[in-house]
Structure 1
Amino acid sequence: MKKINLFSSALIAGVLFASSAAMAAPQGHFQRVDVNIPRLDMRIDAGVKSGKLTRTEERQLRTELRRLGSAVKLAKKDHQVTRIERVKLERKEAALNRHITKLANNKAVVKKANKHKQHHQMPNAQHK
């Protein structure tokens, strides 16, 4: 009798352990989304701080960043991110990353914006 009770207790413990491990494992359709929004935000901040991005460029990039965040939130809403959704999100992130690089390295626009800013500051200095 003791052997049957011991065997049944071990069996029940094993089933409970296996079921809890199965519940903790991600489901078949759910995949991790590797979109790093804080890193993109820091890149935009660094571009603004260094003067490589103008205010207009910053606004444009922040709008794209918000749209990417909304897309990630929408994809995760049903707790099942499909492979197609994940690929689309990662492509959007890569496109935004390239756009940040393109705008940050566009020296002509920044130079023109700084020249425009200096031109408007000069007359004020002459009136003093």
Structure 2
Amino acid sequence: MKISSLFSGALVAGVLFASTAALAAPQPFHNRVDVNIPQLEMRIDAGIKSGKLTPTEAHQLRTELRQLSVSVKSAMKDRKITKWERTSLDSKEAALNRHITKLSNNKSVVSKHPVKPGFDHRTPFKPDQGRNWR
């Protein structure tokens, strides 16, 4: 009887020790990228729709968004995200977020009415080259 209680006590102690050791082990980085590309794209679309972004600015932001997507794909190529890659992707996403905000709040360029597709209201007026406009 003493041997069976000693054996069951050792078994319980071993299970408890093994479970705490497993919980205390360092957890590896999860291999998921936390860059929210659809949200960034929706912010650009909303800026175009409201007239806060000109087509030229939207094209520039979409180019940066494509570069961010390429960076995400190249980071996921080996199916492991290193700490350096994660930091780089996070900083690129934050920079794009700041750039969207900066261009959306550019008061000297923002029109009160939505911009017509294909029309850039910032293009300067170019008078006839044959006349003297002084």
TM-score band w.r.t. shorter chain:
0.5 to 0.7
- CA distance in 2 between counterparts of 1:89 and 1:116 reads 34
Contact 1:61 1:96 in 2 (8 A): yes
Describe how 1:1-128 pairs up with structure 2 within 5 A: 28=28, 30-111=30-111, 114=121
Q: Which runs of 4+ in 1 moved over 3 A?
A: 27-31, 113-117
CA contact (8 A) 1:75 1:81 kept: yes
Check whether the contact 1:51–1:110 (CA below 8 A) recurs between aligned residues: yes
Q: How far is 1:99 from its partner?
A: 0.1
Deviation at 1:114, TM superposition (A): 3.6
What is the alpha-carbon distance in structure 2 between the residues aligned to residue 39 and residue 45 of structure 1?
10
Contact 1:31 1:86 in 2 (8 A): no
The CA RMSD over aligned residues, in Å, is 2.1
- Once residues 29 and 36 of structure 1 are traced to their aligned partners in structure 2, the CA distance between those partners, rounded to angstroms, is 18
SS in 1 for 2:81: coil
Q: Structure 2: any 5+ residue segments left out of the alignment?
A: 1-26, 112-119, 126-134
C-alpha separation between the residues in 2 aligned to 1:115 and 1:63?
A: 20
**Mapped contact 2:109–2:122 kept (Cα < 8 A):** no
Taking structure 1 as reference, are residues 67 and 115 closer, same or farther at Cα in structure 2, changes over 3 Å only? closer
How much identity, in percent, do the aligned residues show? 63
Look at both structures and tell me which one has the larger radius of gyration over its CA atoms. Answer: 2
What is the CA-CA distance between 1:107 and the residue it aligns to? 1.9
The number of residue pairs the alignment matches comes to: 91
Cα 1:85–1:40 change in 2 (3 A) is same
TM score, norm. by length of structure 2: 0.61
Ranges in structure 1 where 5+ consecutive residues have no aligned partner = 1-26, 120-128
